[in-house]
Amino acid sequence: MSCFGKRTWDPKGKHCYVTGGSTGLGLALSTLLVQQGADVSIVARNEKNLKAAIEKLETVRQSKDQKFAYYSYSLTSARESQEALQAVIAGHNGETPDGVFLCAGGSKPKFFVEMSGEELVQGMDMGYWVQAWTAWAASKEMARTRKKGKICFVSSTLGYMSLIGYASYSPAKHALRGLADTLRFELQLYNIDVQIFFPCTMYTPGYEEENKTKPKITLKLEESDSGLTAEQAAHAMLAGIKDHHSHITGDWITTVFRASTKGASPGRFFLKDWALNIFGCIALPIWRMTVDREINGHVAEHETYLEERGLRA
Amino acid sequence: MSCFGKRTWDPKGKHCYVTGGSTGLGLALSTLLVQQGADVSIVARNEKNLKAAIEKLETVRQSKDQKFAYYSYSLTSARESQEALQAVIAGHNGETPDGVFLCAGGSKPKFFVEMSGEELVQGMDMGYWVQAWTAWAASKEMARTRKKGKICFVSSTLGYMSLIGYASYSPAKHALRGLADTLRFELQLYNIDVQIFFPCTMYTPGYEEENKTKPKITLKLEESDSGLTAEQAAHAMLAGIKDHHSHITGDWITTVFRASTKGASPGRFFLKDWALNIFGCIALPIWRMTVDREINGHVAEHETYLEERGLRA
């Protein structure tokens, strides 16, 4: 039983569909789900990674009845997301998944004035649509087949706050929060649970990728951040999923941001949230002023950067 | 002087670019800006509305030197938004606008499982991109020409919270918050002020349009909401713009949501925000539970609705 008296969600025997399941958080979550007795279908783009992931899942198999399957799709369009879901369903005796876990995504930080239109669109595709389309396809399917399922989005600490360099990513992660909060209300009509996880920095292949384009000032501001391994993040995510938390966090800082930006979203323990919120009211403005000071101290260096790139008339 | 000792922003003699300036909030804001001595360039799609708007602006002209201009563009693509901005600049002796006020937008509420892929994309276009593209084009231009300008987005109460029926709109309005908070940090590098307005229901042509597709349960939940006229909203928006508020609200309920979801975003008077936040911590969960109860009470009626539309297997 969870603390609210609702029965804990048990992965055992459930059909779990994990997007981005071949690496990072998605693979770590799939591994935990398999260890707890679930059938797992994973979707990602890279076929080689998918095969390697399935091999890894086989090593933690709990029973010979568990089914694992993989499908290669890109998921950033409505059509492909629908096709991927139909493939997942067809590969599991026509059964709509019990749980849909949206771990696909990526980020490419850069200065806003340097971004191309394509990069901005890609930011929304890889931060928002890659999850929204599957949620949309799955909601329709769950409503149609009366499956009392579960959908869990993966946002980011940057879905609660923002930082210089993330103009293509933070909006997408905020949008996921808006979508999850809307659907938490709406999908009650079909008995579908909607949850959303806000991980902090995760040391995954995606993190190494984003650091390649990240502005120097952003790297400096993140210098003192501590992150989680994909396994630690997956543990926090699954614990929140099982306990039916609407907004799931896995680290202390993001939990302060959750409590300080809660609004009408469901919280956790009232007094703890209250204390974190009060702490945030004092600490977060101080943090923001520190960041403002760092950015203002970066102006002269940035001027040279802009001039070298012909961004000043 | 504003309360923080920073000089109040004065529209007099400024070149103001207002998107969506032909009707509703955009026209009301343009009218106020003209009354306070600004030059105003408006962009919208409908040429007839644009001409009528310019005629209205002429009636409140303060001096013969004020310049008014209109341009017809759609603004939902990067290219058109850049072209519109270039037309606005060319029409004003090559001068980059001092202020860019992003009033264009629209919403089409509907049940998520009934939305088409096109409607979801349109929701993001009309809620987010229609403003993000102009902000992107203007940021590049202001940075290039060293214009110490101002960019003000228009989100919605639904950028702070959400409600059943708004799965194509609320994510877009949350995304605008993420973008504004990112750019508030980042565009300090170029001395560009970034602000964002969160209006509640406004009785505009857009509101009449959205009520045409709005689910019955959403209409019922909004029954007791009070709204603002476009003129009232424009007054609140301009007051916040002049006083350099990062997050601007024009009604009491949205102000409670602002204070309760503040996180690291800049607030207003510390003690007032604190009191509103504490009030929100108690009142908003109660509001949410009331909404949950209404939605759960709607299940039986919704079942019939779904069956009639063939949305149940």
Prediction pTM value = 0.97
Determine whether the interchain pair A146/B260 forms a contact, defined as Cβ–Cβ distance below 8 Å: no
Q: What is the structure's pLDDT at A270?
A: 85
Whole-angstrom distance, CA of residue A7 vs CA of residue A1: 4
B143 CB neighbours in chain A (<8 A) are 113, 306, 311-312
Identify which of B263, B295, B296 has the shortest CB distance to residue A284.
B263
Q: What is the structure's pLDDT at B205?
A: 84
Cα B266 to chain centroid, rounded:
18
Identify which of B143, B161, B313 has the shortest CB distance to residue A311.
B143
What mean pLDDT is predicted for residues B198-218?
A: 91
Whole-angstrom distance, CA of residue B239 vs CA of residue A33: 53
What mean pLDDT is predicted for residues B282-311?
A: 94
CA distance A88 to chain B (A): 19
DSSP A158: G
Confidence of residue A4 (pLDDT cuts 50, 70, 90): low
Query: Which region among A114-128, A267-281, B164-178 has the lowest average model confidence (pLDDT)?
Result: A267-281
B161 CB neighbours in chain A (<8 A) are 181, 263-265
Whole-angstrom distance, CA of residue B228 vs CA of residue B249: 12
Say if residues B258 and A156 touch (Cβ distance below 8 Å): no
CA distance B44 to chain A (A): 21
Interface mutation vs chain B, best among A124, A151, A221, A281, most B CBs within 10 Å: A281
Say if residues A99 and A149 touch (Cβ distance below 8 Å): yes
Q: What is the structure's pLDDT at B1?
A: 43
CA distance B119 to chain A (A): 11
Tell me phi and psi for residue A265, to 5 degrees: -70, 145
Determine whether the interchain pair A171/B182 forms a contact, defined as Cβ–Cβ distance below 8 Å: yes
Say how many CB pairs under 8 Å bridge A and B: 221
What mean pLDDT is predicted for residues B196-204?
A: 94
**What's at B192, amino acid-wise?**
I
B179 CB neighbours in chain A (<8 A) are 167, 170-171
What mean pLDDT is predicted for residues B180-206?
A: 95
Whole-angstrom distance, CA of residue B150 vs CA of residue B162: 28
Of B14, B110, B173, B214, the catalytic one is B173
The mean pLDDT of chain B is: 95
Query: Which region among B31-35, B119-123, B143-147, B264-268 has the lowest average model confidence (pLDDT)?
Result: B264-268
Confidence of residue B296 (pLDDT cuts 50, 70, 90): very high
Say if residues A256 and A161 touch (Cβ distance below 8 Å): no
pLDDT-above-90 percentage for chain B: 89
Q: Which residues pair with A197 in a beta bridge?
A: A154, A248
**What are the pLDDT digits (tens) for A62-102?**
999 999 999 999 999 999 999 999 999 999 999 999 999 99
What mean pLDDT is predicted for residues B60-73?
A: 98
A177 CB neighbours in chain B (<8 A) are 174
Query: Which region among A199-213, B31-45, B183-197 has the lowest average model confidence (pLDDT)?
Result: A199-213
Identify which of A162, A175, A312 has the shortest CB distance to residue B182.
A162
Q: Which of A279, A265, A267, A157 shows the shortest CA–CA distance to B274?
A: A279
pLDDT-above-70 percentage for chain A: 98
**What are the pLDDT digits (tens) for B93-123?**
999 999 999 999 989 999 999 999 999 999 9
Determine whether the interchain pair A185/B295 forms a contact, defined as Cβ–Cβ distance below 8 Å: yes
Whole-angstrom distance, CA of residue A112 vs CA of residue B142: 12
Token digits for B25? Answer: 């909030």
Interface mutation vs chain A, best among B112, B160, B253, B301, most A CBs within 10 Å: B112
Whole-angstrom distance, CA of residue B274 vs CA of residue B262: 10
Q: Give the SS3 label for residue B6.
A: coil
The mean pLDDT of chain A is: 95
Interface mutation vs chain A, best among B140, B189, B257, B258, most A CBs within 10 Å: B189
CA distance B223 to chain A (A): 17
Confidence of residue B295 (pLDDT cuts 50, 70, 90): very high
Strands (E), A155-297: 193-198, 202-203, 228-229, 247-249
Identify which of A166, A185, A285 has the shortest CB distance to residue B162.
A185
Whether pLDDT at B166 is above 50 = yes
Identify which of B166, B172, B295 has the shortest CB distance to residue A188.
B295
Q: What is the structure's pLDDT at B4?
A: 53
Helices (H), chain B: 24-35, 47-59, 78-90, 117-124, 130-144, 170-186, 205-211, 216-222, 230-242, 252-260, 270-297, 299-308
Whole-angstrom distance, CA of residue B183 vs CA of residue B252: 26
Whole-angstrom distance, CA of residue B299 vs CA of residue B292: 11
ipTM of the complex: 0.97
Residue partners of B293: CB distance under 8 A and separation at least 6: none
pLDDT-above-90 percentage for chain A: 89
Q: What is the structure's pLDDT at A157?
A: 97
Identify which of B79, B175, B267 has the shortest CB distance to residue A175.
B175
Confidence of residue A5 (pLDDT cuts 50, 70, 90): low
Whole-angstrom distance, CA of residue A251 vs CA of residue A267: 15
Say if residues B32 and B101 touch (Cβ distance below 8 Å): no
Among chain B residues, the shortest Cα distance to A184 is held by: B164
Among chain B residues, the shortest Cα distance to A298 is held by: B189
Give the number of other Cβ atoms within 10 Å of residue B54's Cβ: 17
Whether pLDDT at A278 is above 50 = yes
**What are the pLDDT digits (tens) for A19-45?**
999 999 999 999 999 999 999 999 999
Q: Give the SS3 label for residue B84.
A: helix
pLDDT-above-70 percentage for chain B: 98
Q: Does B173 participate in catalysis according to the annotation?
A: yes
Whether pLDDT at A7 is above 90 = no
A313 CB neighbours in chain B (<8 A) are 144-146
A311 CB neighbours in chain B (<8 A) are 140, 143-144
Confidence of residue B5 (pLDDT cuts 50, 70, 90): low
Q: Which of B2, B180, B199, B215 shows the shortest CA–CA distance to B100?
A: B180
Tell me phi and psi for residue A69, to 5 degrees: -145, 155
Q: Would residue B32 be called left, alpha or beta, if left means φ above 0 and alpha means ψ between -120 and 50 degrees?
A: alpha
* Element of type H or E holding B252: helix B252-260
**What are the pLDDT digits (tens) for A113-148?**
999 999 999 999 999 999 999 999 999 999 999 999
Q: Which of B267, B239, B236, B235 shows the shortest CA–CA distance to B252?
A: B236
Whether pLDDT at A3 is above 70 = no
Q: Give the SS3 label for residue B312.
A: coil
Whether pLDDT at A2 is above 60 = no
Domains and CATH numbers, chain B: 3-267 (3.40.50.720)
Whole-angstrom distance, CA of residue B44 vs CA of residue B26: 9
* Element of type H or E holding A242: helix A230-242
Say if residues A254 and A200 touch (Cβ distance below 8 Å): yes
What mean pLDDT is predicted for residues A227-241?
A: 97
Token digits for B303? Answer: 């079942």
Token digits for B211? Answer: 């009520």
What mean pLDDT is predicted for residues B144-160?
A: 97
Whether pLDDT at B151 is above 80 = yes
